[in-house]
């Protein structure tokens, strides 16, 4: 793990994103983050204070992501680690019962949001000639289950997108598909119900997952990694 750096995290207002932001900051990293929920982002910004930067941004808004990236670069520089965590889960249902509108929304956030984030930050990381992009995958990016087909589709796509991106990056950079594992979050409870309580909390997870993320480097380019 590098001693200190800057981590930029999407979807950091709750769940894994918030837990990562708090843990990176605890370890001495500078943290930038965004999420759609303005109140939650404001609370996190107040909790962590300077020099960290948090803004209410919708990852599906390309112009907003570029504006956010400009602010981050001006104040904190290019990320050592860009964590594309923002994602939605479809309501549990057979694929034939998922509306086109819900399917499109899942695609827009889970894939389009990752694309927008990469477009916004990668040029600065290339200029800095270093940095790791960790695109959050899932066990459902490497396996499947009924009633979550749209989510599975996006996470399988993240695996392929990340490997293709890894082949485009210059020396010194890396793209990794990162499976966080199974954690007790609101997203998991939407699928597992009360059974989600049998898994680690996001805060417990972050104590081991954040060092694993921080340890990623150029040698990991193109890898599919699972959190310890």
Distance, C-alpha 196 to centroid of its chain: 21
Look up residue 174 and give its two tokens.
């890396």
For this structure, is 139 an active site residue? no
Single out the residue of 109, 115, 121 nearest to residue 71, CA to CA: 121
Catalytic residue among 24, 68, 151, 178: 151
Annotated active-site positions, please? 151
């Amino acid at each position: 793990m590098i001693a200190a750096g800057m981590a930029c995290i999407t979807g950091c207002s709750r769940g894994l994103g918030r837990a990562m932001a708090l843990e990176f900051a605890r370890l001495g990293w500078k943290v930038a983050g965004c999420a759609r929920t303005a109140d939650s982002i404001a609370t996190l910004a107040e909790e962590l204070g300077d020099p960290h930067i948090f803004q209410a941004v919708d990852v599906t808004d390309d112009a907003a992501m570029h504006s956010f990236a400009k602010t981050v670069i001006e104040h904190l520089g290019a990320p050592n680690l860009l964590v594309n965590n923002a994602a939605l889960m479809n309501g549990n249902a057979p694929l034939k019962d998922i509306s086109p509108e819900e399917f499109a929304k899942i695609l827009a956030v889970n894939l389009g949001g990752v694309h927008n984030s990469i477009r916004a930050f990668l040029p600065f990381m290339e200029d800095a000639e270093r940095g790791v992009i960790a695109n959050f995958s899932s066990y459902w990016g490497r396996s499947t289950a009924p009633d979550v087909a749209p989510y599975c589709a996006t996470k399988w796509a993240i695996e392929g997108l990340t490997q293709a991106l890894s082949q485009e990056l210059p020396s010194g950079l890396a793209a990794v598909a990162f499976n966080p594992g199974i954690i007790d979050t609101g997203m998991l409870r939407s699928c597992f119900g009360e059974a989600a309580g049998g898994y680690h909390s996001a805060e417990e997870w972050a104590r081991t997952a954040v060092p694993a993320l921080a340890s990623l480097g150029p040698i990991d380019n193109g890898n599919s990694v699972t959190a310890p």
